[in-house]
């Protein structure tokens, strides 16, 4: 079908919108006549002008809606009316397909109101029940609840949910000639002959901000090695920037609050490097091809939201409690101090020089901080390769194994030929395998018993009880053994999303998801035991089965 | 500089406020305009002789003004500032730079707004502020109202009215305040306390009356101790303190938002501080002549808000005594009490006469009313002792007249004299300012009065058509004679006077204004104390599908998201659109707003 009307719902921030850009390019590539509409929060709509392939942007003012809901009373009535008006406007768009990239019941209910024939991502049934309607959306929802075991980048989730062509291995943002001119004029005072290094000081939340003194020290170190530091950010960061700039000294420029998004992109384009936390400007730099030294701590994970591109350097404070849940209010964000300015200065200088040997050496230093180099695997999915060598830590082994399992079972990519490493207890996975087999077998018997609609009621009831028991046992293992939780969580989302139908049809569908669970658990157990040899992929396993 | 047409940039920026734009387009520039560019290249101007901004440094001066406005809003915890007066916008530009919250601007004179829009590119400012017309004020709740003073000089009553409108709008929806009304033990302000309490209840507040008149018999019996006068005053003072402590104890127990004390209520500094500690605001309605009594000087600083019946230097004097907020709140009438009566013939015989006066025998009245003894004149009220010339006309032996009988007398008399009391002058007090309750009460009763002229009378009544005012006792006598011969004119003026009271001068109006002014100073505080919106309130403004959805709830159900989604889990079948929308809003609240509720 060509000329599809596609709605993409992404109500989060600047970075998330940029991370949607490869998906939009891929949709456009698959269907040049498609009409692609983005629904975005007003605060972040400016960036949409630079994302290629967007036909139309619809803004919603979440701040205003929030204010109305908080005020209550008459304002609550206004909130209701503005939500209703937005629903009306979107219904009038008569979309064929919606991609909902927000994982929340809120977005599900909202999508349910839009009456769009196909929704991928969270949606609600007419009865208000959550339904996650695409395997990659269900995986995304699963990994949101198990982030420490997630190894797939948000961009790849977005692309896989959209399906179709793989699209570019890059974020896309087009700045303008005028913006480039503004950037040139803003950087007019930059010291001749010095390399331009941008630093993004702020972040959306306090727990995502690297300490001011650390930025100042990196700035001083860099200007001593023939760099000119440009401080970038929004108006809110002016005070912070002016303090940092005062500490850095003469070879620095403060552009905080002085650039719109297009000009910021042009400034980053002219910079040889950006030093930043996990921020929107980090993704903007990735989109314009500027190398990044990215600092990940608190809730941020390099695999999840690292800059989608090659050869960026990411430092992650892999402390015990990382990644912290988004809802956590940390009383001592010591992880921010784990990443020392000395190490960041070395990383920045080495990245400027393209000196990967130094970076590798830096990654081999003891401590909680890990260094990564970004790139793409042989399947074309983003990956963070750990610098410094040495045996992989347990959680990395788990993440890599899970990554392989997801790609094999959802995208039919081959499993690695050999297992990864020893050291992870595979017993819980073996338990899941046996439970899944029991479920598979019981569902098969149930399908047979109910086919034709005249089965033995007592037998059907007994089989139903067995399946309930299997599911309870799966839940029990997952609560005791966190390593298997991604499997059981995904299974639950799959189960929840089964289309209503006859008992026989449901039993058949259950065979499918028990079978998938068995394959996944089996593959995990095998990969975590180095002696084993892998099945190629879920599809090839199925063919032989 | 000669102002040209409205600048295009301003027109586009104002398109989101079409009513304002239409009003500006329909208006003409004000007369007597002088606009100039300062040596720094800024634009300032003057209209009708009033300078709108600093003549040389408008933006610097504006920053000072804005800092004060922000202080005021911050101390009131307000998230929104409503400025009355646009002028040329310098003060607003400074304000939006200094204040993170919303800024609403109300400009009652569209012509003045036209001047600003024709002289300066204000598109950035217009994008940041919301301009509203005073006829259509919305969303001012939780807003701190700040008048731009220079325009008060220029606009006079129109600006004062706009400020009042904004304050009322800021208090809109504030009902159900817990108010304790404290009466004095006796005196002219006692009935005012009772009426204030009734009005607050009518306005939907949870008002409680603490009637200290119940303690009057005990207070009067303090004389039984037979103490010397100086010693007795100590005992009386301790008695008053005990009452004050009792009031504070009641406030501590009662969870009140506001304690409203009438003049002479026995509340001293200790009790008022205890009331503050109990979390209630305190207000004094000082319905007396501040020049005659001085006790307010000791207590004014302990009240959060003082309302006076005098203007001019009055506010400054109260402030110099430490009062925080001082506002004008004139006397009023109670139309259910002060009302026209269909009197029986017998009642007319008992209460009626050509000319009458009801009130106490102050010196100036004793001097003045002698001149009415050649008429059919009756004198009612107390404190007329040692004035034998009035023996013939004094009714009921000079005993106190009840309110109900006063209303009968006013209704039965052809001309009611109303001479404000004075302890030092012989006739009409030349510097009399405030208007006494009797003026409003006689008018509300549909009765005709001749009143001595007061400087504040003309702001309450249209003199000549709604009341007859005189400057001297001779004029009072002359007017009385004249109107005795003109019954139709008397009836017309009396009816117009009554209509004016019903429109503007009832206790309901006063209490509405009092609450509005207190809320305007403490918006955030009252936005929490306010009665929550109910489904009944929402239903009045809802239409379409949401109105149908609301029909399933009782009117008294709080209009909250929790209540709106409560029945949904039990419902069968698909969600209706309103159900789904309320679930969406509730999920939005859970996801994004919980941290703001902490």
Nearest one of A296, A281, A86 to A202, comparing CA atoms: A281
Contact A119, A111 (CB under 8 A): yes
Nearest chain B CA: its distance from A286 CA (Å): 28
Can you give the pLDDT at residue A327? 62
Q: Is A400 in contact with A416 (CB distance < 8 Å)? A: no
Task: With CA atoms as reference, report the closest residue to B36 among B112, B115, B94, B97.
Answer: B115
Q: Does A80 touch chain B (CB under 8 A)?
A: yes
> CB–CB of B587 and A109 under 8 A?
yes
Are B536 and B556 in contact, with CB atoms under 8 Å apart? yes
Give the span between the Cα atoms of A257 and A263, in whole angstroms.
11
End-to-end CA separation in angstroms for chain B:
53
Q: Which two tokens stand for residue B320?
A: 């110099």
- Quick one: tokens of B294? 């001085």
Compute the nearest-CA separation of B581 from chain A (Å): 7
* φ/ψ (deg, to 5) at B238: -65, -35
Q: In terms of CA atoms, which chain B residue is nearest residue A115?
A: B577
Q: Measured between beta carbons, which residues in chain B are less than 8 angstroms from residue A326?
A: none
Please indicate whether, in this complex, the C-beta atoms of A106 and B587 are within 8 angstroms of each other.
yes
Q: Do B585 and A83 touch (CB under 8 A)?
A: yes
This model of the complex carries an ipTM of 0.84
Residue B26 tokens, joined:
């329909």
B contact set with A (CB within 8 A): 139, 141-142, 173, 527, 532-533, 537-538, 541-542, 545-546, 559-561, 568, 573-575, 577-585, 587-593, 596-597
C-beta atoms surrounding B438 within 10 Å? 24
**Are B142 and A71 inside 8 Å of each other by CB?**
yes
Residue showing tokens 């009782």: B554
Mutate to test the interface with A, among B533, B584, B593 (most CBs of A within 10 A): B584
Q: Of B532, B578, B587, which has the smallest distance from its Cβ to A73's Cβ?
A: B532
**Residues of chain A falling short of pLDDT 70:** 207, 326-330, 418-422, 530-545
Question: Counting one residue from A and one from B, how many pairs have CB atoms under 8 Å apart?
Answer: 94
Q: Say what the pLDDT of residue B277 is.
A: 82
- Terminal CA-to-CA distance of chain A, rounded, Å? 34
Nearest CA in chain A to B579: A128
Best B585, B590, B597 member to test A by mutation, with max A CBs in 10 Å, is B585
CB contact under 8 A, A65 and B588: yes
User: Which of chain A's residues have a Cβ under 8 Å away from the Cβ of B173?
Assistant: 73-74
Q: Residue A186 in 3-state DSSP?
A: helix
Q: Is A257 on the interface with B (CB under 8 A)?
A: no
Taking CB atoms and an 8 Å cutoff, what residues of chain B touch A70? Answer: 593, 596-597
What per-residue confidence (pLDDT) applies to B55? 87
Q: In the block, which residue shows the tokens 């991502």?
A: A121
Angle at B365 between CA B361 and CA B367, to 5 degrees: 115
Instruction: Kindly identify which residue of chain B lies nearest to residue A109, measuring between CA atoms.
Output: B584
Residue of B277, B145, B170, B256 whose CA lies nearest to B210: B256
**Is B537 within 8 Å of A66 when comparing Cβ atoms?**
no
Contact of A482 with A428, CB cutoff 8 Å:
no
Kindly report the length of chain B. Answer: 598
Task: Tell me whether A73 touches chain B (CB under 8 Å).
Answer: yes
Are A112 and B579 within 8 A, CB to CB?
no
Peptide bond into A323 cis (omega under 30): yes
CA distance A459 to B443: 92
- What single-letter DSSP state applies at residue A390? S
Distance of CA A147 to the CA centre of its chain: 10
- Does B559 sit within 8 Å of A77, measured CB to CB? yes
pLDDT (0 to 100) of residue A131: 87
Q: Which residues on adjacent β-strands are paired with residue B506?
A: B333
CB under 8 Å to B150, separation ≥6 — which residues?
A: B50, B51, B52, B53, B85, B87
Q: Do B584 and A83 lie within an 8 Å CB cutoff? A: yes
Q: Best interface-test mutation with A: which of B565, B581, B582, B593 has the largest number of A CBs within 10 A? A: B581
What is the Cα–Cα distance from B83 to A78, expressed in whole angstroms? 24
d(CA B71, CA B91): 14
Residues of A in contact with B596 (CB under 8 A): 66, 70
Which chain B residue has its CA at the smallest distance from A71's CA?
B527
Selected for mutation to probe chain B from A73, A108, A123 (highest B CB count within 10 Å) is A73
Please judge whether A66 and B581 are an interchain contact, meaning their C-beta atoms are less than 8 angstroms apart. no
In order along its 598 residues, chain B shows pLDDT tens digits of: 666 777 888 888 888 788 888 888 888 888 888 889 988 889 998 888 888 898 888 999 899 999 988 888 877 777 889 999 999 999 999 999 999 888 999 988 888 899 999 989 998 999 899 888 777 777 777 778 888 877 666 766 778 788 888 887 777 666 678 899 999 999 889 999 999 999 999 988 889 999 999 999 999 999 899 878 888 889 999 999 999 999 999 998 877 889 999 999 999 999 998 898 887 899 999 999 998 888 899 999 999 999 999 998 898 899 999 998 899 999 999 999 999 999 999 999 999 999 999 999 988 999 899 999 999 999 999 999 888 889 999 999 999 899 999 999 999 999 999 999 987 778 898 888 999 999 999 999 999 999 999 999 999 999 999 999 999 999 999 999 999 999 999 999 999 999 999 999 999 999 999 998 888 777 767 654 445 678 888 888 888 888 999 998 988 787 888 889 888 877 677 888 999 999 999 888 888 776 665 4
Angle at A263 between CA A257 and CA A266, to 5 degrees: 130
CA distance B60 to chain A (A): 22
Answer whether A234's CB lies under 8 Å from A256's CB: yes
- CB contact (8 A) between residue B579 and residue A128: yes
Q: Is A77 on the interface with B (CB under 8 A)?
A: yes
Interchain proximity A76–B542, CB inside 8 Å: no
Q: Which candidate from B561, B574, B588 shows the least CB-CB separation from A106?
A: B588
How far away is chain A from the Cα of B580, in angstroms, using its nearest Cα?
A: 7
The pLDDT tens digits for A421-456 are: 667 888 999 999 999 999 999 999 999 988 877 778
Nearest beta carbon to residue B575 from set A70, A76, A128 = A128
Query: What sections of A412-529 are H helices per DSSP?
Result: 427-450, 457-480, 485-496, 503-527
Which of B541, B560, B591 is nearest residue A72 as measured by Cβ atoms?
B560
Alpha helices in B379-486 (DSSP H): 403-412, 437-444, 457-460, 473-484
**How many CB atoms neighbour CB A5 within 10 A?**
17
Asked if A126 and B575 come within 8 Å (Cβ–Cβ), the reply is yes
């Amino acid at each position: 079908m060509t000329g599809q009307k596609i709605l993409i719902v992404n109500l989060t921030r600047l970075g998330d919108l940029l991370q949607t850009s490869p998906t939009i390019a891929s949709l456009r590539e698959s269907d040049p006549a498609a009409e692609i509409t983005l629904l975005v929060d007003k605060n972040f709509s400016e960036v949409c002008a630079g994302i290629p392939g967007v036909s139309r942007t619809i803004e919603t003012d979440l701040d205003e809606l929030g204010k109305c809901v908080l005020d209550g009373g008459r304002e609550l009535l206004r909130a209701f009316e503005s939500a209703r008006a937005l629903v009306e406007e979107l219904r009038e768009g008569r979309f064929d397909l919606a991609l909902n990239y927000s994982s929340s019941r809120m977005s599900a209910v909202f999508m349910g109101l839009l009456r769009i024939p196909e929704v991928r991502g969270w949606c609600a049934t007419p009865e208000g029940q959550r339904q996650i309607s695409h395997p990659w959306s269900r995986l995304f929802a699963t990994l949101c609840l198990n982030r420490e075991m997630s190894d797939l980048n948000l961009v790849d989730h977005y692309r896989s949910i959209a399906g179709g062509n793989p699209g570019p291995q890059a974020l896309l943002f087009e700045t303008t000639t005028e913006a480039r001119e503004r950037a040139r004029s803003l950087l007019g005072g930059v010291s001749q002959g010095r390399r331009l290094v941008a630093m993004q000081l702020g972040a959306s939340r306090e727990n995502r901000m690297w300490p001011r003194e650390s930025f100042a020290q990196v700035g001083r170190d860099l200007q001593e090695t023939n760099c000119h530091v440009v401080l970038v950010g929004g108006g809110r960061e002016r005070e912070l920037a002016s303090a940092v700039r005062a500490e850095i000294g003469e070879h620095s420029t403060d552009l905080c609050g002085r650039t719109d998004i297009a000009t910021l992109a042009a400034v980053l384009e002219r910079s040889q490097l950006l030093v930043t936390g996990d921020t929107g400007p980090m993704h903007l730099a990735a989109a314009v091809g500027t190398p990044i030294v990215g600092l990940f701590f608190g809730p941020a994970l390099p695999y999840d939201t690292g800059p989608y591109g090659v050869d960026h350097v990411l430092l992650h404070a892999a402390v015990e409690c990382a990644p912290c849940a988004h809802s956590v209010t940390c009383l001592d964000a010591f992880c921010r101090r784990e990443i020392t300015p000395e190490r960041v200065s070395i990383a920045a200088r080495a990245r400027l020089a393209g000196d990967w040997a130094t970076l590798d050496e830096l990654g081999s230093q003891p401590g909680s901080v890990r260094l990564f180099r970004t790139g793409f695997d042989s399947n074309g999915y983003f990956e963070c390769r750990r610098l410094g060598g040495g045996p992989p830590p347990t959680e990395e082994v788990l993440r890599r194994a899970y990554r392989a399992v997801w790609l094999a079972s959802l995208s039919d990519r081959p499993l690695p030929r050999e297992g990864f490493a020893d050291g992870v207890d595979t017993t819980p996975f073996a338990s899941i395998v046996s439970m899944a087999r029991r479920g598979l077998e019981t569902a098969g018997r149930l399908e047979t018993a109910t086919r034709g609609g005249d089965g033995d009621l007592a037998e059907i009831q007994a089989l139903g009880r067995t399946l309930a028991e299997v599911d309870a046992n799966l839940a029990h293992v997952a609560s005791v053994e966190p390593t298997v939780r991604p499997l059981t969580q995904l299974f639950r989302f799959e189960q929840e999303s089964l289309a209503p139908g006859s008992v026989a049809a449901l039993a058949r569908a259950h065979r499918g998801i028990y079978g998938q669970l068995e394959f996944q658990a089996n593959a995990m157990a095998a990969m975590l035991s180095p002696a084993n040899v892998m099945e190629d992929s879920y599809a090839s396993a199925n063919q032989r089965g | 500089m000669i102002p040209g047409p409205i600048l295009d940039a301003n027109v586009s920026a104002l398109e989101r406020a079409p009513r304002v734009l239409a009003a500006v387009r329909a208006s003409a520039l004000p007369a007597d305009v002088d606009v100039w560019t300062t040596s720094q290249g800024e634009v300032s101007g003057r209209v009708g002789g009033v300078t709108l901004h600093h003549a040389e440094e408008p933006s610097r001066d504006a920053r000072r003004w804005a800092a004060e406005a922000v202080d005021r809003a911050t101390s009131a915890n307000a998230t929104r500032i409503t400025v009355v007066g646009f002028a040329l916008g310098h003060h607003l530009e400074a304000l939006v730079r200094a204040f993170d919250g919303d800024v609403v601007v109300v400009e009652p004179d569209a012509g003045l707004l036209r001047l600003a829009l024709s002289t300066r590119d204000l598109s950035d400012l217009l994008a940041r502020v919301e301009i509203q017309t005073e006829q259509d004020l919305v969303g001012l709740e939780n807003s701190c109202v700040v008048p731009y003073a220079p325009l008060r000089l220029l606009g006079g009553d129109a600006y004062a009215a706009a400020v009042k409108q904004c304050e009322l709008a800021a208090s809109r929806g504030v009902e159900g305040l817990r108010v304790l009304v404290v009466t004095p033990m006796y005196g002219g302000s006692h009935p005012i306390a009772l009426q204030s309490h009734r009005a607050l209840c009518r306005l939907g507040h949870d008002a409680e009356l603490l009637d200290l008149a119940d303690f009057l018999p005990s207070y009067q019996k303090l004389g039984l101790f037979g103490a010397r006068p100086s010693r007795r005053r100590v005992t009386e003072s301790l008695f008053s303190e005990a009452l004050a402590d009792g009031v504070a104890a009641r406030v501590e127990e009662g969870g009140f938002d506001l304690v409203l004390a009438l003049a002479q209520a026995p509340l001293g500094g200790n009790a008022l501080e205890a009331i503050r500690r109990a979390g209630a605001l305190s207000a004094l309605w000082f319905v007396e002549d501040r020049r005659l009594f001085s006790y307010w000087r000791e207590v004014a600083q302990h009240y959060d808000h003082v309302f006076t019946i005098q203007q001019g230097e009055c506010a400054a004097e109260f402030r110099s005594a430490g009062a925080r907020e001082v506002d004008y709140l004139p006397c009023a009438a109670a139309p259910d009490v002060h009302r026209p009566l269909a009197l029986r013939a017998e009642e007319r015989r008992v209460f009626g006469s050509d000319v009458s006066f009801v009130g106490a025998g102050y010196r100036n009245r004793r001097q003045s009313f002698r001149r009415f003894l050649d008429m059919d004149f009756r004198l009612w009220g107390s404190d007329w002792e040692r004035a034998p010339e009035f023996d013939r006309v004094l009714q009921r032996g000079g005993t106190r007249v009840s309110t109900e009988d006063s209303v009968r007398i006013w209704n039965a008399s052809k001309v009611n004299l109303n001479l404000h009391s004075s302890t030092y002058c012989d006739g009409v007090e030349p510097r009399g300012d405030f208007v006494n309750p009797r003026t409003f009460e006689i008018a509300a009763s549909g009765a005709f009065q001749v009143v001595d002229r007061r400087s504040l009378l003309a702001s309450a009544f249209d003199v000549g058509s709604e009341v007859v005012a005189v400057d001297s006792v001779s004029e009072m006598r002359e007017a009385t004679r004249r109107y005795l011969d003109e019954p139709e004119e008397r009836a017309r003026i009396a009816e117009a006077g009554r209509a004016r009271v019903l429109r503007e001068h009832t206790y309901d109006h006063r209490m509405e204004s009092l609450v509005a002014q207190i809320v305007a100073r403490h918006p955030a505080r009252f936005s929490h104390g306010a009665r929550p919106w109910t489904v009944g309130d929402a239903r009045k403004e809802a239409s379409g599908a949401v109105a149908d959805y609301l029909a399933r709830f009782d009117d008294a159900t709080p209009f909250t998201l929790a209540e709106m989604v409560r029945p949904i889990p039990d419902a069968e079948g698909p969600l209706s659109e309103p159900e789904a929308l309320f679930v969406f809003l509730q999920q939005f609240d859970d996801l994004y707003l919980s941290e703001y509720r902490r």
